[in-house]
Amino acid sequence: MVRGSGFSALSRSTFSCSDIGSVPVTLTVTDNAGHSASCTTTVMVVGEIPACSITAIPGSGAFTGGPATTIYLGYGPQSVKLQSTVTGGSGFLYAWSGLSTGMLSCTDCASPVFTPASEGKYEFTLTSTNSNGCTTFCSITICVFDVRVPGTNGNKVYLCHLPPGNPGNPQTLSISVNAVPAHIPGHTGDQLGHCGQSCDLLGIKSGEVAGELVGTESTDFNLVIRPNPFRDEITMTVESERSDPATLTVYEMTGKLVGKEMSVNPNVPVTFGSELTSGMYMVFVKQGDQVQKIKIIKTK
């Protein structure tokens, strides 16, 4: 026992999901004369780091020959279930994000159904949190091609045909919907849509936009991040009319906390990322009771 006035200090008093396991904690007590004594104990942090994955399961419809993550408006399944699998803990909460979540059957369930209304490249991110408060993230991209021929009332679709004996001369055909099965799977190499179309050429319909500016869900503050993807460092500005600081937290896609929480003053650019290795991360920014999250990518 230490007598007299003085002060005491703990080596740490807060713990997170990144501390799961045995964590040594030291208490140091110092009196006014500068004499000190220390003792150490072990704190067991209990919890599990979750992990998740998403599988695309097409709805009912004719065979298209395309991957499960592709929808062809005008032919075949017109919806897809985003079936998630989450492990590591129990009592999971689910939150789906992306600018097109209005086309999901639900945003707080494990496996929503996506029914697109227009062509595009749709990206969705699932945030899942277990009963220990530990979080994981996973994403999926769905490509939607509109293969309907205008002015035909949906009776004709575009199809890329590889002529037998001359596969190096692909031709985009306008054919009856009833004639598609004769080409798919009837002709090897034929596929729905225009020849040369690619998911990468579609407009992105998501909360993450490739390039310098990244937009996020609507709140009382906006995030501006440049560049994204980035090679060395990334700069973020919290654009807000409020004066109270925001907090910035970076997580690996496994849900593991990276570094410490940062305090960010509104409308003042802050630079970070030099400490990160190449890969994908989720950044959470909180001001008051509002939170925005954004996906960042560091390249080699």
pLDDT at residue 106, rounded to an integer:
95
Question: How far apart are the C-alpha atoms of 153 and 157, rounded to whole Å?
Answer: 10
pLDDT at residue 251, rounded to an integer:
84
pLDDT tier, 59 (very low <50, low <70, confident <90, very high otherwise): very high
Instruction: State how far the alpha carbon of 115 is from the alpha carbons of 79, 83, 258, in Å.
Output: 5, 14, 35
Question: How far apart are the C-alpha atoms of 179 and 36, rounded to whole Å?
Answer: 87
pLDDT at residue 219, rounded to an integer:
55
pLDDT at residue 296, rounded to an integer:
84
pLDDT at residue 203, rounded to an integer:
52
pLDDT tier, 254 (very low <50, low <70, confident <90, very high otherwise): low
Is pLDDT of 148 > 80?
Answer: yes
Of the chain, the percentage scoring pLDDT greater than 90 comes to 35
Residues ≥6 apart with Cβ < 8 Å to 110: 83, 84, 86, 92, 94
Q: What is the pLDDT of residues 99-109, one digit of tens each?
A: 678 899 999 99
Is pLDDT of 31 > 60?
Answer: yes
pLDDT at residue 208, rounded to an integer:
35
Average pLDDT (40-66) is: 90
Is pLDDT of 196 > 60?
Answer: yes
Question: What is the CA 153 to chain-centroid distance, rounded?
Answer: 37
Residues ≥6 apart with Cβ < 8 Å to 254: 49, 51, 136
Residue boundaries of the structural domains of the chain = 6-45, 47-207, 209-298
Residue 180 backbone dihedrals phi, psi, to 5 degrees: -60, -45
Q: Which residues are bridge partners to 172 per DSSP?
A: 160
pLDDT tier, 279 (very low <50, low <70, confident <90, very high otherwise): confident
Q: Tell whether domain 209-298 is in CATH 2.60.40.1930.
A: yes
Is pLDDT of 55 > 80?
Answer: yes
Mean pLDDT of the chain: 84
Average pLDDT (233-245) is: 88
Is pLDDT of 157 > 70?
Answer: yes
Query: Fold match between 47-207 and 209-298?
Result: yes
Average pLDDT (61-77) is: 96
Q: What is the pLDDT of residues 205-230, one digit of tens each?
A: 543 333 333 334 445 777 777 787 78
- Beta strand pairing call for 257-264 and 279-287: unpaired
Homologous superfamily of 47-207 in CATH? Immunoglobulins (2.60.40.10)
Q: What is the pLDDT of residues 160-177, one digit of tens each?
A: 988 877 777 888 888 999
Q: Is the pTM of this model over 0.85?
A: no
